Amino acid sequence: MGILAFVTFELAPFTPGGIGRVLHNMLLSMSDEDRNRSLVILVDADGATDGFAELFPGVGLVRVDTARHEPGSQARTLGAHVAPQTVYGHSPHHWRSVAVQQALAEAATRHAFDYVEFPDWGGLGFATIQEQRLRRFLDDAVIAVRLHNAHRGLLQAEARAISRSDLNLADIERKCLRDCDVVVGQLRPFADMTREIFALDAVDWERRLVIHTPPVLLDGREPARETIPPASNQSIRFTSKVQPVKRPDLFVRGVAGFMRRDSGYTGSAAVNAHAFEPDYRRYIDSLIPSDLRPRFDAAANPGDRQRQAMIAASTVVVPSDIESFCLAAYEASLLGARVVLNGANPAFGTDTPWIDGENCVKFDGTALGLTDALERIFSPTLHLRPVSLPRDPWPWEHLPPVVGRDVARSEPLVSVVIPHFNLGAYLPETIRSILELSYDNIEIVVVDDASVDEQSRFIIGELQRKEDPRLKVVALECNRGLANARNVGVAHAAGDYILTLDADDLLHPGFLSLAVDALERNPEHDFVVPQAGYFREADEIPLPGEQSNFIDYAIFTGEAVIAGLTENRFSTATAVFRKPLLQRFPYREELRAYEDWDLYLRLSQADVRCLVTTGVYFYYRRRAESMIARCEADTRTRPILVHDMMRGGAAGSLHDRGRFLAICAAATAESEARQVKEPYQTVRLPESRFMRGALKAHGYWTRLPASVRLIAGGSVLLAWRGARGVVRIWYRLRHGFPRRSWPRLARTL
């Protein structure tokens, strides 16, 4: 039997958090056989893990520090360069997923995996799931994502300042849930709500959904047989975290209302929970009426044993609006506490173990409703019992069939469409890059958009005279623009797949084989997106595993449903498409720029799916005179071009297009703010021959072995010191320094 792997940010008791507590309970509750084949991959955990082996006997542990991850070894595994951490500034969780994929790849050299489970929060499975779809990585394993509470759900549930990192994280979380083999829901209502939040297909979701209610353990205590009776001096406790999504404000207001209404109640209220933000804790404290303040206890959270004893003698209120499961509520009920729950929370709704009037009292999510519920639960005639949990089979024991992995490989024809205008200096190198691809069944469609410079016209003429069945040259009689040239190329293409490539860019030799094989095995996906590295000359392109980098990068998430509205996080113009897709969604020819961004926006609105590489397979040539460089450099023109794109076909209705315009305005304002700051933060290197030569020399230097660089550096240093000494002697002789200064001069050599 293969390994059961659990990837997590948290693991109780070593790190705090509900995700870690669920995994802790699972590891202690599973059979010895399953525990002995389990592996925990703990990501970016600050605390020590002393005692892990004693607490979880037989379970393996791999710690991953993503800040120290070296992409060089991963590049050698993938056969393609991997971008460094610094370029993931607005998508740090994407980088963490890259580091986790490498940790799994290294573990896979020692173990065979049956099941790999990721949490939904943080998108840790993004790179692993994409690599499984692309290159059969962990092909024999089932990859699952367990629903705890994704960041996208938290953005929906509480107010916060939204950053681009938040938007990118929401997109990669959605991509993980959409492409994984199995979704593990802890309760059906929360699973249904998650599908609605991410706008995922109901039929596909239901096919992959497995419901597994996790075990609840009480740290050495046996579950109570009965729920305690009410008492007028019984404490009312809030045991969740003090953060907006947990609604401590609702607790304070509802309890204060109950204390005012029921003069016979003499007990106290307690907020014994950890507060992440001191300002928010002070806000919650400010809600307590001054005359009731002595009856509210805000002492620090006690230890586990003392905390359980306090809960067992209390009425516990869980007022949160959204939970995936809520261990705190189950623990309180099983300890014997009387429990009041927010009935508007899907974790406590219908089709859950919670039954109003039998094992809990529910309220409608308002402060007045909570006051009424507290009046009910303190009624001496209301007798409750502890909650009963269903005993679901472990998700790896009853898995739905995984489809689409055993499709026989074929090599359909691929048409490489190259629009060309006045780029004759680069076109031969681009065609040579295509001919060096490891995929053989190709045709090259060059569409010349009425080039006017002599070199370009000469190159096009030479290509037209070549008698090569793999080459088609379409010469337009007048300039029609880049989007039209691409559409003409697609119309002349005979292949089942289209690879779009500009006339000055280059490709990794293995990209086309990787993309076509992935699309053949994944019929539900329609295009493949490569990560991009920027270069000026071809000899600057680093080889996989080299200790050198591209001059810049563009990192994409493919299906950038949210972040793609403010910036192009989808892809460059280069990707491998199924031909019918580009026939259905042609490029908009009226646009002056960003026709590729517009295409991906329309594909996103149509819910078209793609796959995304981890490695850098596309090499984008940076030229100061390129069309996109001119657009980006002109701060006045770019907002107009973005608006031109947004006002068109990205949204389906005129009403939706109005919303797109508002997003466009916000994105433009953010862009202008960044441009104001940039002159004080960065210096753009001049596009001079000297600078290009210096960068090329630096590229050669970084490719030398470390020992050679050390010897060469030492030799240069010694030569420089010798030359400096000679110059100093000459200078002193030239200007008549006395001989008595020569010994001191000699000592400086």
Q: Where are the alpha helices (DSSP H) in 37-145?
A: 52-55, 71-78, 92-108, 126-135
Extract long-range pairs of 348-356: CB within 8 Å, 24+ residues apart. Answer: 348/318, 348/323, 349/189, 350/189, 351/187, 351/188, 351/189, 352/187, 352/188, 352/189, 353/213, 353/387, 353/388, 353/389, 353/390, 354/329, 354/387
Query: pTM above 0.75?
Result: yes
pLDDT at residue 534 greater than cutoff 70:
yes
User: What does the alpha-carbon distance between residue 431 and residue 499 come to, in Å, rounded to a whole number?
Assistant: 13
Of 205-214, 441-450, 561-570, least confident by mean pLDDT is 561-570
For 711-728, what is each residue's pLDDT tens digit? 777 777 787 677 777 766
Answer yes or no: are the C-beta atoms of 93 and 169 closer than 8 Å.
yes
For 402-450, what is each residue's pLDDT tens digit? 665 666 568 999 999 999 999 999 999 999 999 999 999 999 999 999 9
Q: Give Cα 144 distance to the centre of its chain.
A: 16
The candidate with the shortest Cα–Cα distance to 90, out of 542, 482, 564, is 564
Q: What is the pLDDT of residue 269?
A: 95
The radius of gyration of the chain from alpha carbons, rounded to an integer in Å, stands at: 32
User: What does the alpha-carbon distance between residue 736 and residue 749 come to, in Å, rounded to a whole number?
Assistant: 19
Calculate what percentage of the chain has a pLDDT beyond 70. Answer: 83
Q: What is the pLDDT of residue 241?
A: 86
The count of other CB atoms within 10 Å of the CB of residue 41 is 20
CA angle 273, 279, 284 (to 5 degrees): 55
In b/e form, how buried is each residue of 627-658, taking b as 16+ CB within 10 angstroms?
Answer: ebeebeeeeeebbebbbbbbebbbbeeeeebe
Answer yes or no: are the C-beta atoms of 121 and 10 closer than 8 Å.
no
Confidence of residue 198 (pLDDT cuts 50, 70, 90): very high
Across the chain, mean pLDDT equals 87
Answer yes or no: are the C-beta atoms of 434 and 446 closer than 8 Å.
no
The Cα-based distances of 167 to 96, 159, 430, 549, 669 in angstroms read 16, 14, 35, 27, 17
Answer yes or no: are the C-beta atoms of 19 and 43 closer than 8 Å.
no
User: What does the alpha-carbon distance between residue 291 and residue 256 come to, in Å, rounded to a whole number?
Assistant: 10
Phi and psi (nearest 5°) for 723? Answer: -65, -40
Confidence of residue 740 (pLDDT cuts 50, 70, 90): very low
3-state secondary structure 456-525: HHHHHHHHHHCCCCCEEEEECCCCCCHHHHHHHHHHHCCCCEEEECCCCCEECCCHHHHHHHHHHHCCCC
> 3-state class of 629 per DSSP?
helix
For 388-415, what is each residue's pLDDT tens digit? 999 899 999 987 666 656 665 689 999 9
Of 33-47, 112-126, 444-458, 531-545, least confident by mean pLDDT is 531-545
The candidate with the shortest Cα–Cα distance to 357, out of 389, 321, 385, 320, is 385
